[in-house]
Amino acid sequence: MALDHTHDPAARSWLDAANISGCDFPLQNLPFSVFRRQGSQETFRGGVAIGDQVLDLAALTGASVLDGEALQAAQAAAQSTLNDFMAMGRPAWRALRHALFALLRKEASQTEAVRACLVPLAEVEYAVPARIGDYTDFYTSLDHAINCIRIMYPDADVTPNFRWMPQAYHGRVSTIGVSGQQFHRPHGQFVPPGASTPVFEPTRRMDYELELGVWIGPGNAPGLRIPLDEVEEHVFGISLLNDWSVRDIQVWEMAPLGPFHGKNFATTVSPWIVTLDALAPYRTAWSRPADDAQPLPYLESSANREAGALDIRLEVSLQSERARREGRGAARLSGTSFRYQYWTIGQMVAHHAAGGCSLNPGDLIGTGTISGPGPGEAGAMIELAEGGRKPVSLGDGDERGFLLDGDTLILRGWCEKPGAVRLGFGECRGTVLPALPD
C-alpha cells in the first residue's frame, strides 16, 4: 500500500469545507456510502463524502467528466448497493479514487459540473452500503478477552487457542442496520442472579461492542485460500461497527456452541466505508510478545509484521434519554486504537478462507470488540463497569452498569499523525428501545 499523490498532505480541495481542520472527509479520504435525500422517494445510489457534501455518483456519471476505467467504476458504484463496485477490485477502486481526487482538488478545471453533483450531508439518509451475503464476527482483542474473563475469574487466562488463531463465529445478516438504527430490547432465556433455573424475559444486561467492519471485495472461489500477503486485494474498506450484545443471555447460551440470541437481534454499521488506499498513511508495525505463541506459517509474513496494523483511533459516547430531554450532549465512555488488536485484518481474512470458505463481494467481517491495554480503553460496558459492579458515571448523577432503554451509543473513528491529513469515519449511532410486550 504505497503512498501516492492522493495522500499529499498539502493537497487542498476547491470545496472549502473539505479543508477545515478536524474535518472527517478531506480530499485525501473520499469514502463511499449509499444515500438519498431525506424523506424522498429517490433511489438509493452510491456517493462519496467530501467536506460537508456527498458527491452523487449517479449524477456524476452523466456529467461528462469521467472516462475509461474511472467511468466504469463510477457507474458500478452509483448503483443501489456497492457490491458490483466492490467486485471490480483494486485497479478499478484506485482509478476512481484518482479521478475523483483530480476533479475535487483546488487546481481542477471542471468544478461547476462537479459542484452540480453535490448534495449536503445534512440533507441525506443512508442505507446499508452493500447487499451482505454473509457476516462473520471475530474475537481478536486480547485485552478485551482477558478483561472479560477476569471479571468472573481474577487469575484466569484466555483459552490456549486464542493465541494460535483468530477466533470467530458466523452472525446474522437480517438484523444488520445502518447508523441511526433503533431496536427493541430483546427477550431471551437466562438465569437471574441467585436463581437456579432460567427465565424468558427482556435482557437485564444490555451492552455494546466497539468494532470495525471489514468489507470484502472480489473474494475467492470455494476451496481456494487467500494468502496473507494477498488479502488486501480482497478488502474494499473499513467502517465502524457496533455488535450489540446482551450478557445475561450470552453467558447462559454460549456453552458449548457460542453466541446466538445474545447477539443476533441487532448489529449497526456506519454508512461510510473508508478504503484501504485512504488508510495507507496510517499503517504501522504489528508484533507479538516474544514469549507468546507465534503465528503458524499461513498467518505469518514480513509484510504483515512491518505494516499489518492500522492506527485507527476510536471513541465511544453515550447519550441517555434524560440527556436528550435536557438538551445535553453525549458523555464520553472510552477511547482506544485498533493498533492494539492481537490479530490483524489480514490474518483474520486469511484464516477465514484457509479452510476452503469462499468470501464474496459485500461480505462483512467484524473485528471483534476493540479494547486497549490502559484504563479507559475498554470497548464494552461489561469491562468498563466490571460486570455491572462498578457503574460508570455519565455526569449529573447519572450512571450505567449496563444500558437502559432510551440510551443512544455513538461510535466515532479517525486517523491522524504528523505529516498526514486527519481523516474520519463519521459516526455509528444506535438506540435501545423498550422491549416489546409479551
Cell of 269: 454499521
Residue whose C-alpha cell reads 482506544 in the numeric block: 336
Give the catalytic positions in this structure.
144
